[in-house]
Amino acid sequence: MFLLLVFLSLCFIWCLQFHWKRFRLYKLSRKIPGPLNLPLIGCAHLFFTGNAAEIAKRFMQMFDDYPDLAKAWMGPELYYLITKPEYLEVVLNHNATLEKMDLYKFIRPIVGDGLISSPVKVWKRHRKIIAPTFNQKVLNEFPGVICEQVNFLIELLRKECDKGEIDHCRYVTNCAIDIVGETIFGVSIGAQTGGKSYSLIFDKWMEVVFMRIFRLDYQFEWIFSWTKASKIQEEVKRIIHTMTRDIIEKKKEQIGCQLEADDEKKKPFLNLLVEKHLNNELTLQELEDEVNTFLLAGSDTNATSGSFILTLLGMHQDVQDKLYEEVSKILGPERPPTLDDLPKLKYTERVIKESLRVFPGAPFVARVVEEDVNLGDVIVPKGANIGLGYLHLHRSEKYWKEPLKFDPDRFLPENSINRHPYTWLPFSGGSRNCIGWKYGMMVMKIMTAMVIRKFRVKSSIKSIGDIELTANVVLKPKNGFRLAFEMR
């Protein structure tokens, strides 16, 4: 009996200390609206059951129910859910909110501590090394290589013409991987000739990551290791890491056989990183982590965004006709787009921007608050977490008229002049934004122009609202991509 009393007393004291340390979190968040929070678990009960699509739907519903700002407790963790542009601008440019949440640890088994998931100290050092490889001088060398890979994609799609709707994303993903290989890494990967469907591999892994974030049982390694999801993760890890090591070995052989330029601002990504590794400025693990990150982020996000663009053009024949007219006028029937052509494809760029508004690659980003952050009328306390809801920002009627209408002319200069710059964030914002956003826009513009010049695409989907989404880290349609291709 005495030992039981001692144990209960210690538990009581621990609870008092725990809640006393968090008293300020309770106090400052008390008046912030949010979903029902139960004792101990908060609103985690909303995510105990269901598949990734169902869990994603419940999670995204919170942003719909509580626009601009909401609070949600997930167990002992406090989240501020934000979609207001003025708040987003403060958060994304504040030094106290650069750190990614601990939940990003669930992508580390595959990508390690690359730019997307690394702690701030690692991120700052790596970003400084990598940034020169995405300057305009380097990007200017890419259009010809991108065109070669898109031409291969076109030949594969030609074989699928007049067969009804197909999963075009599997072709676009393999093309995007080969583009990353030839441009960012400077080596041939051969995804388009290898026969594997990397889009399915990526999707399976992304679903595992999403489930680990929201299902409490999956967050315990000893439970997760017994699940089917763990086996999927290990298989994806084997495939990606084998590719990464092969890419690095090829690049080491290349560097050993050729004279490298002295100017770091002219060196491609992997050339520079391998040299930094050989000079002991990066460890082998750090090198592999960044290659893993760019292999996945550079290909999967571009492929998904490119697939959404084609889907939306298939749904909106008038927009497709206008884009085809622009491409035909500027490029003609066969000529590949050059660096000088890209700025002239203004309508094509507006189509891409509008697609990224409706379907941003990353629908949600999470940060840790390391010091109090003043949003003007709200204080976000140290120790809280912040969730940035880009999908809901992009679809809010407060900032976009008829948000589910596909209208590329929203991005005409005269229609954008009074728009808050933080109402459109497909590449995030602030110092920790997407380092390769210019590269991504270049790839999407070339791919869209060349594919639509050769094919008319058609979709049976009637409206954007009919596309049910699943947020497997990268935004995807629940029922996959489907599109019909016809030769022009």
CA 382 to chain CA centroid, nearest Å: 27
List all residues 6 or more positions away from 329 whose beta carbon is below 8 Å from its beta carbon.
none
Dihedrals φ, ψ of 400, to 5°?
Answer: -135, 120
> Could you give the C-alpha distances from 194 to 110, 145, 175, 383, 394, in angstroms and in order?
21, 19, 11, 47, 37
Strand pairing report for 379-380 and 373-374: antiparallel
Q: What is the dihedral of CA 43, 48, 49, 55, to 10 degrees?
A: 50
The stretches of 48-106 forming alpha helices (DSSP H) are 52-65, 85-92
Strand pairing report for 385-389 and 455-458: unpaired
Measured CA to CA, the distance from residue 413 to residue 403 in angstroms comes to 18
Q: Is 77 helix (H, G, I), strand (E, B) or coil?
A: strand
Beta bridge partners of 78: 73
Tell me how crowded residue 216 is: count the other CB atoms within 10 A of its CB.
Answer: 15
Measured CA to CA, the distance from residue 166 to residue 163 in angstroms comes to 8
User: In this structure, which amino acid lies at residue 122?
Assistant: V
Per-residue tokens: 222: 């000893």
CA 64 to chain CA centroid, nearest Å: 21
Measured CA to CA, the distance from residue 176 to residue 179 in angstroms comes to 5
Measured CA to CA, the distance from residue 483 to residue 488 in angstroms comes to 15
List all residues 6 or more positions away from 433 whose beta carbon is below 8 Å from its beta carbon.
92, 427
Q: What is the dihedral of CA 224, 226, 228, 230, to 10 degrees?
A: 50
Measured CA to CA, the distance from residue 48 to residue 14 in angstroms comes to 27
Per-residue tokens: 53: 């699509």
Dihedrals φ, ψ of 396, to 5°?
Answer: -85, 130
Beta bridge partners of 457: 485
298 sits in the region (left: phi over 0; alpha: psi -120 to 50; else beta) called: alpha
161 labelled binding-site residue: no
Q: Binding site residues, as ranges?
A: 434
Q: Binding site residues for heme, as ranges?
A: 434
